[in-house]
Chains A and B, each alone.
Chain A
Amino acid sequence: GEKVEQHESTLSVREGDSAVINCTYTDTASSYFPWYKQEAGKSLHFVIDIRSNVDRKQSQRLTVLLDKKAKRFSLHITATQPEDSAIYFCAASSTSGGNYKPTFGKGTSLVVHP
C-alpha cells in the first residue's frame, strides 16, 4: 500500500522567515495531495492541496510543489507568523479504481518564534 514519509518531525523558524516541509510517497497511482494543519488542542483542518495534473499551486502565503518523477511534494510557507505554529500533516491518495484511502504522514511540528 501507499506510504507517505514526512521528513521533518520538527521545524523551528523566526517570524518572517520561510518554512518548508517535505513529503515523499511511494504509490505512482497517487494523484491527490492535501495538507492539513492541527493547532494545539484542536482537530485538523484543510489548508491547501495539489492534484497531479499540475506541479505548483499557491494560495496566499502557502505554495505546494509536486515532483511526480521524484514522488515528492512540499509545503512552502512564506513570511511566517506565530499563528502558523501548528502540526502540519501531508497526505496522498489515489483516485483510481475507486480507492478513496488517504495515507497521512506523521506530521511536522512547526514553531514560529516571534
Chain B
Amino acid sequence: GGIITQTPKFLIGQEGQKLTLKCQQNFNHDTMYWYRQDSGKGLRLIYYSITENDLQKGDLSEGYDASREKKSSFSLTVTSAQKNEMAVFLCASSIPGGSYEQYFGPGTRLTVL
C-alpha cells in the first residue's frame, strides 16, 4: 500500500498573498492531480501532471501555478489569494492512462482573511 500526504493541513493567508500547498505520494504513480472542493460544487480540476516535469491545465487553472519537479511530489501555488476565499484543496495520484482509480490525500483547508 501507499499513502498521499498533503501539507499544511490548514492554511490561513491574507488577501493578495502567494500561498503554496504541497503533496507527496509513495505509490510510485506517474499521474498526479490537484482539485479544489467547494461546498455544493463537487471537485474541480486545477492542474494535473502525467509525469515528472509535465504540467497540464485543468478547468480551474487561472490564478494557480503548479510544479512537478519529482515523480513523488506535486506542488500548487495560489498566486494571489482572494479575500473570503475558503476551499479544500485535494491532491490525488493514479496509474497513468485515464482508466484507473485515483488515490486522494487528506486535503488542505484554505482560509483567506
A residues apposed to B, CB below 8 Å: 1, 6, 9, 31-32, 34, 36, 42-46, 49, 51, 89, 93-95, 98-107
Contact = CB atoms under 8 A, between A and B. Distances in A.
13 contacts: A31-B99, A32-B99, A32-B100, A36-B102, A49-B101, A89-B42, A93-B98, A95-B99, A100-B48, A100-B56, A100-B97, A105-B42, A106-B40
A89 B42 CA distance: 8
Interface residues of B, number: 28
Main secondary structure of the interface of A (DSSP, over half): strand
B106 A100 contact: no
Interface string B85-113: 00000101000111111111111000000
A33 to B, nearest CB: 10
A95 B98 contact: yes
A32 B100 CA distance: 8
A43 B98 contact: no
